[in-house]
Each structure stands twice: as C-alpha cells, then as structure tokens.
Amino acid sequence: MKRLSVAFLCWTAVLLSNVSCASAPIDDFVGPEVVNAIRWEAFWEGADALGTTYSAGRRVEMRVMRTPNRLYAIIGQIQLALDIAIQEPDHGVQAVRLVRFPAMANDEATQWFLRTQLLAAPGCTDVGKGARDSTAGSTLPPGRPCPARPEGLLSDETLPFALPTLALPEAIQKRTVPVDSDELFAAVRRHLESERKTCGQLKARIPFYSNTDPWVYVLVSPGGKCPRGVATFYRSPSTGWDLGKFTADSPKEQLSAIIAKIESRTAAIVP
C-alpha cells in the first residue's frame, strides 16, 4: 500500500505541476508520461486510436522495463507502447517515442515490441519461428534466436494501471510551449529553407506543444506549386528536433481534422 500511495501522490504532483519524481521508484515515475501520451494520442489521432474498448478508470496491465537511459511501457489493451529517454541521476525525461501495434494481449504485445523495435539483429530468428535453413545451397549461416530482453535491463515488472480520462493534453489546455521552443522553430526554418528553391516562399504553423509529446504536427503552406501539408517533427535526446516526414493534404490522407486543430491552436508562425 505504501508504494502505491507514493505512486499516486507522485503522479498527481506531476500532472498538476513540474514536481520531479526522482525520489519515487522509477516504475512509479513512468505513470504520468503514459497519461500524457494517452491524452496526446486521443486529441491528435482520435480516441479510436486507443482501441474500441477504451474506458476511463478501467484497470489494465502495464509492462514496464528499465535500462540505464530508457523506460519502456507497453499496454496491450490499448495498443500503445512508449519508449521514454531519461537522463540520470534525476530521471528527467528527454524525449518520448510512441509506437502503435495491432490488438493483442500484453505478453504478446511485449514480445512484438521487443522483436520489432528494440532487438533487431541481422540473422536472428523471430520468437515462435524456426531457425533459418542454411542447407540446400544457401551460403547464409544458421539462424540464431533474437535477444529476449533489452541490453542492460535493470528491472522488468507488470503493474496495474488505471486508464485516465481523455482530457486535453496539458500544453494544448494551457496554450503553452517549452522555454526552449527556439530549437523546434529553428528546425522548422531549416526545413522551409531546404524546400524554398522548389516550392517558393513557405509558411509554417506550429501548435502549442510539449517537449515530451511523441511528435509535433506542423502545417506547411507553400506559396508556389507545392501542395500544403503536415510535417511531423520528432525530438531526439542526441540530435534535438528532426523532420520525420511530410504528408500532402489530399483526400486520401484525411488530414482535415489535424489541420483544423493546428489552425485553431497555433502557437507560432514561421517564418
């Protein structure tokens, strides 16, 4: 009970302020980041992205794995996994990566996440598959099992987790940007400059966001022949903000809902 009480108080403090949970167990600290990611996903992608059975207050299982500089949280019931980059010794969050996957049980989802996102190794054999046949004229060496866990694993637990209400993400609700927002603005400017020769004068709208958002949607509107569309920017602990991809605004891409949200919640226009 004591550990759960510490977790509850810590999660509440993080949601309401900038309080650090460095003094709490690391597996308790992951809770607020999961809550933020769920609310971000529901706002930008729609609640359906969390599965058709999502219900606030429902208790589910959350698999939490910790390495020296990463926390991994997997919740199979809502088809969501988080890769959280942390900085020792205070466990400050540097970046959050969100991974979606098909509906599956938590153990199966964990194996899928490990196999496809963390443990890819040339020549290794997927879980549940036989070794590669190196006979019949093949010059490939025999297959070997893929690693069963992340390198440097410090802890691996399955914890109960109550699904949160789907409120607005904090940055959207409070209409804020990080104090170092110039870093994202500079990355957006570099992208616009790289496309100027082809597309002419470009303009970008950046919505309110947080440094721990899985990515930031940026609306790019050209003045030339290029189509307008949405660019995604990701935050890396080592390189800062990087361009993910650009998706043109066309009926098949169904970007109208995302574009409307950017336009109604614009924090800055670049240049």
pLDDT of res. 140: 42
Element (H, E) at 65: strand 59-67
* pLDDT given for residue 86 in this prediction: 83
Of 20-24, 97-101, 223-227, 266-270, the range with the highest mean pLDDT is 266-270
User: 113 or 10: which carries more pLDDT confidence?
Assistant: 113
Q: How far is Cα 268 from Cα 271, in angstroms, rounded to an integer?
A: 9
Q: What is the pLDDT of residue 263?
A: 96
CA separation, residue 166 to residues 8, 48, 56, 243 (Å): 18, 12, 7, 28
Question: What is the pTM for the complete model shown?
Answer: 0.77
Residue 112 has a pLDDT of 84
Q: What is the dihedral of CA 168, 34, 243, 111, to 10 degrees?
A: -140
Mean pLDDT (whole number) for 84-88: 82
Structure tokens, 172? 């959207």
If pLDDT is split at 50, 70 and 90, which confidence band does 22 have?
Answer: very low
The domain locations on the chain are 2-129+142-167, 182-270
Grade residue 237 by pLDDT with cuts at 50, 70 and 90: confident
CA separation for the pair 68, 207 (Å, rounded): 33
CB 48 within 8 A of CB 91: no
Per-residue confidence (pLDDT) for residue 146, from 0 to 100: 57
What residues contact 7, with CB distance under 8 A and at least 6 apart?
24, 25, 28, 31
For the stretch 88-137, pLDDT in tens is 666 678 888 898 888 888 888 888 888 887 655 444 555 444 433 434 44
DSSP 82: E
